[in-house]
Amino acid sequence: MDAAAAPPTKKAKEATTTNATLDDNGGADSSLDSSLVDCSQRRRSVAEVEAETGPGIEHCMKQRSDAWFDLRSTCVLTASQFGDAVGAGRGRCIHFLQYLRDKRKNMLKRTSSSSSSSSSSSSTSSSAVSSTRQSPVKSVVSKEMQHGIDYEPVIADMYFLLSGNEPRECGIFTPAVDDVMHGLIAASPDAKVVRDGHVIGLAEFKAPFYRMHRPDDPAHCHGIPRSHICQMMGQMGVAGVRTWCDYVVVCARERKISIKRVHYSHRFWLALKSALLRFILAYKFGVDEDGVSKIKLADWRLPEEVLHIEERCTYDAARGTFAGDRGLPLTWAVLAAELPPLTHGNGDGDDGGGGGGVGGARHG
């Protein structure tokens, strides 16, 4: 990877702090050259575009349907990949970048091979290319992902019983057409939270197979994996539901339930958005003829100081009951009556959040 351009002077850094974006270390992002940002012939900073865009566009389609996968395939990143793209996932962002580049090369090779072996008719060739594009997305479903998918409907019922909030399945969101990220990212939360016919928040469901997330894990923040925080903040930012996202975690093996409310932070979203834009630019345009990155990438430090996360579910050990916002104490037997059997898991305590893996079935 080539060295980046000389760092800006202190004066230049101070001049860019008004953009309300943060760099990889949590400071003002002065190294993202505005000349690199080009969306529909417009060259603007992330903050300038954010100030004038409306809420995201919801494409009403069933999750994991053919149309859903097809729309996802037109974007570079979905919310479940945001953490990987900024280095808040299981590896460094540069490794994730290389993964996506290798994946793209392999897809192009398969497309070329399919086209050459198919008939000369345009319909047959088009079908082969379409199949090649979709198959990598739909085929990578691990046991942990399937475990999360199987548990989602029951977790939604648990959430309703405990909180009194109605979770409704939603489609996939893309940024507004005048947003610099339009066509580049997408998000599909597990549910919109509705009250009196109005969307008041979002919900993200996770079903770890072996154990709950540990609050003392260095990869976690407030007991939530940092990659999941990026996922939820990205979902709220893209969808335009800028209130909160309830993070609902159910581990059947431990018989535990957790509901944490992650409040939207505009500062966090702008910082994340800036880091995502840098990653996407490096992926799409930041490679010279030798395949060396022209855009310097560094793992991003989450501005944890701006996070507001609160517990929304308590457990009474003496009575063995859980209680959420509704205030109704419920036992595990009542809440988990409809849970499917435990038939998945790899022993690593994977999050089982309805999907995972880059380009896989994780839908966030």
CA distance 266 to 305: 13
Least confident range from 78-92, 97-111, 230-244: namely: 97-111
Task: Please give the structure tokens belonging to residue 328.
Answer: 């109704």
CB proximity list for 132: less than 8 A, separation 6 or greater: 107, 110, 111, 114
Cut 0.85: pTM above it: no
Note the pLDDT of residue 337.
83
SS3 of 212, please? coil
User: Does 310 score more than 70 pLDDT?
Assistant: yes
CA distance 344 to 67: 28
pLDDT band at 117; cut points 50, 70, 90: low
Quote the DSSP letter at residue 21. Answer: -
User: Does 131 score more than 50 pLDDT?
Assistant: no
Strand partners, 174: 57
Q: Sign of the C-alpha dihedral, residues 346, 218, 267, 258?
A: positive
The CB-based long-range contact list for 221-224 (8 Å cut-off, 24+ gap) reads 221/302, 221/304, 221/307, 222/260, 222/307, 222/309, 223/258, 223/260, 224/260, 224/262, 224/309
pLDDT tens for each residue of 141-199: 677 777 767 888 999 999 999 999 999 999 899 999 888 899 999 999 999 999 888 99
User: Does 111 score more than 80 pLDDT?
Assistant: no
Domains, the chain, with CATH or none: 63-335 (3.90.320.10)
Which position has the token pair 């990949």?
Answer: 81
SS3 of 194, please? strand
- Cβ atoms of 275 and 268 closer than 8 Å: no
pLDDT tens for each residue of 222-281: 889 999 999 999 999 999 999 999 999 999 889 999 999 999 999 999 999 999 999 998
